[in-house]
């Protein structure tokens, strides 16, 4: 059974959202085993769709995505 979550991260402007998403794509592609994260940009919002094989895997993947996004936003 797959578990999933959708996250939205509003940023100051569309250019920032694109820059953050592009910077994070290689990192989220190498996420925890058994999980997949897809990033999308909609205006000034970065959306992350996280899917994992288990609840523990989903938690680990979500923690990774949130930490990466937090670090990227702090550098803006």
Q: How many Cβ atoms are within 10 Å of 62's Cβ, its own excluded?
A: 19
Cite the beta strand spans of the chain per DSSP E: 3-10, 35-42, 45-52
Report, as an integer, the average pLDDT of 55-73: 94
* CATH number of the domain that residue 25 is part of: 3.30.310.50
35: containing domain: 3-74
Report, as an integer, the average pLDDT of 19-43: 94
- Please answer whether residues 41 and 18 qualify as being in contact, where contact means their C-beta atoms are separated by less than 8 angstroms: yes
What is the domain count for the chain?
Answer: 1
Report, as an integer, the average pLDDT of 9-38: 94
pLDDT band at 32 (very low <50, low <70, confident <90, very high): confident
What is the model's pTM? 0.90
Q: What is the structure's pLDDT at 76?
A: 85
> Is 90 exceeded by the pLDDT of residue 25?
yes
């Amino acid at each position: 059974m797959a578990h999933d979550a959708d996250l939205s991260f509003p940023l100051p402007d569309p250019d920032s959202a694109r820059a953050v998403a592009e910077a994070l794509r290689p990192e989220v592609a190498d996420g925890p085993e058994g999980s997949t994260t897809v990033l999308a940009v909609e205006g000034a919002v970065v959306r992350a769709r996280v899917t994992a094989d288990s609840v523990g895997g989903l938690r680990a993947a979500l923690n990774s995505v949130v930490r990466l996004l937090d670090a990227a936003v702090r550098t803006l």
